[in-house]
Amino acid sequence: MSVRMLWLFFVLAVSSLSIHAQAADPLASWNDTAAKKNIITFVEKVASPNSSDFLPANERIAVFDNDGTLWSEQPMYFQLYFALDRIKELAPRHPEWKTQEPFASLLKGDVKAVLAGGKKTLLEIIMASHAGMTTTEFENIVKDWIETARHPKTERLYTEMVFQPMLELLAYLRDNDFKTFIVSGGGIEFMRPWTEKVYGIPPEQVVGSSIVTTFALRNDEPVLVRQAKVNFIDDKEGKPVGINIHIGRQPIAAFGNSDGDLQMIQWTTAGKGIRFGLLVHHTDAEREWAYDRESHIGQLNKALDEAETKGWTVVDMKQDWKVIYPSVK
């Protein structure tokens, strides 16, 4: 083969690879609607060195709510299913729970009555099921549960109810040198044991609600013990505070799905320069759930109105996503 022919073969091969790379869609599970275009436009602006909106990689901080944003949250938060299973497991040690609320209703499977009790009731359940053990013991309990527990409606593992389009979005952002964080109302130590495996987000990049933890010596071994007392609630106004405490930088992009994420998106998009806010709107009753303003879980009301006035992107799950969950082998 002549040198000319070798050179031609090389040029054609490189061109073919270039075309293939351009054809590869980093957001393949997203339909070609405004939501997808808005995401790509934003990322290209901040990641392209020739862009007037270019930001160095250390400023590319993106924060994500978890419940309802990265995975489903109906008919109740998945951490509450975990708490329910823990209460059932612990019930033999607490015969008083048979008549003591909210445990009596919980053990009877009356979830509606439990949710009607509001935050006070939920905190009581969390404290009873999450405290009184070391952090290592709790981590192992969470790991065992998340590997086997299944959702009562879909019968999927809870980690199979993550949103495929959002997994692609996380990967796309990281491919463009974003650092991705979870900022959730869920328990920080409930999420940390599995988020790296499921989302690619390591434990040090998870911000969440927490209970008081103290140092102790047990059999001359230093341990951290979880106490039945709230330390921090990472929800609503608490989210920007949690970001400031744990991350120390104001994000340039925030992703949520409910009024609990409103202040996080407000604070993120109020920063100087280009900013991006996105809400996942649950509109697909067939493939997932449809809910917003009146929902008892993940209520989306004030944030939906503000998205329109502030120009935040609203994802219509039914229209914007080709699939909801990853395919299960």
Both tokens of residue 287? 């493939």
- Closest C-alpha among 73, 25, 79 to residue 317: 73
CATH fold label, 26-320? Rossmann fold (3.40.50)
Tell me the average pLDDT across 47-72: 98
pLDDT over threshold 70, residue 1:
no
Give the pTM: 0.91
Q: Are 104 and 154 in contact (CB under 8 A)?
A: no
Longest CA span, the chain? 89
**Mean pLDDT of all residues in the chain?**
92
Domain boundaries, the chain: 26-320
Q: What is the C-alpha to C-alpha distance for residues 252 and 233, in angstroms, rounded to an integer?
A: 23
Q: Give residue 176's pLDDT band: very low, low, confident or very high (50, 70, 90).
A: very high
pLDDT, average across residues 55-73 = 98
With H, G, I as helix, E, B as strand and everything else as coil, classify residue 294: coil
